[in-house]
Amino acid sequence: MKISILDWNTVSPDGDISPQKFSDFGELKIFQRTKPENVIENIADSEIVLCNKVLITGKVMKNCPQIKYIGLFATGYNNIDIKCAGERGITVCNAGSYSTDAVAQQVFSYILDYCNRVSDYDSAVKRGEWINSENFSYFPYRITELVGKTISIVGYGSIGRRVAEIADVFGMNVIVHTRTAPKNCKYRVTDLKTVVENADFLTFHCPLTQQTAKLVNGELLNRMKESAVLINTSRGGVVDETALAEALKSGKIKKAYLDVLETEPMSRDTPLKNIPNCVITPHTAWAGLETRQRLVKIVYENIDFWLRGSPQNVVIK
């Protein structure tokens, strides 16, 4: 069995995780990055192809008829031509739920950053403002408690559920909007209009589909409270970046925290660049060491189960 990993650098850019365990399954080739024009060449003799964001198009599959299995170092699979894979009998498996805890943690790092202003106060202390204060306690930046605040969650998969659980512990009011009615949900499930209008924190955990593309648009943003905070750790395409930039600049909403953008790496032309009340992290919610170790373990196990005839995490078979 011949195996190719097409973009290992996206999983372990500094070598903190080794890919060599995948050689348990056969002859392993590792490419740190693969340009679109080199995909066919790099997997020309591989039966198992592993990738994170490299495009595996219908053209690639037709020129590499030996491919039997595609494994993703990701939950999303929009970089794979699923229709063609199905027609050619190629099994495609993703790594669902590996980042649940990490992404939920990132969401609350944003929420706590907003509420407790730790970075702002650290900067103020370093500027000497506390030294020059007449009071023992110096708090020019407003601090906010989470108890009683409403968090509106759009999308109620594993990450959305974990965010709800954490919010519940903080004493927040949790309301949910999801396309599929969840079973045994202890929180209020309602329509999109209601969750948007009631949110103190509006957080998105939905996949990018035709229905969710640019879901965060001018109309939605106009329904939000001016004091509300928007959080997106799902997919960049869920947000109309021009509309969000206008809402932030005009004060229609208070602040936005984004871990994903429509174009990644970040485009120089994004309208969200350098907006003071827009915090952007470079798609890091999934990047903790433990999270990536869990990801690699799932991808390894996916191959093992497939070879045993009982594939798991199957996108298409």
Q: How far is CA 51 from its chain centroid?
A: 17
Per annotation, catalytic residue among 188, 246, 283, 301 = 283
Per annotation, catalytic residue among 223, 235, 292, 294 = 235
- DSSP of 165-227, one letter per residue? HHHHHTT-EEEEE-SSPPTT--SEE--HHHHHHH-SEEEE-----TTTTT-B-HHHHHHS-TT
94, 70 contact by CB (below 8 A)? no
- Determine whether 283 is an active site residue: yes
What's the rounded Cα separation, in Å, for the pair 83 and 72?
Answer: 16
- DSSP, res 56: B
What's the rounded Cα separation, in Å, for the pair 62 and 58?
Answer: 6
281, 260 contact by CB (below 8 A)? no
Provide the H-helix boundaries in the chain. Answer: 39-42, 58-63, 82-87, 100-116, 118-126, 158-169, 192-198, 218-223, 241-250, 289-307
- 217 Rama class: left (phi>0) / alpha (psi -120 to 50) / beta: beta
Residues across the chain = 317
Q: How far is CA 99 from its chain centroid?
A: 8
Catalytic center residues: 235, 264, 283
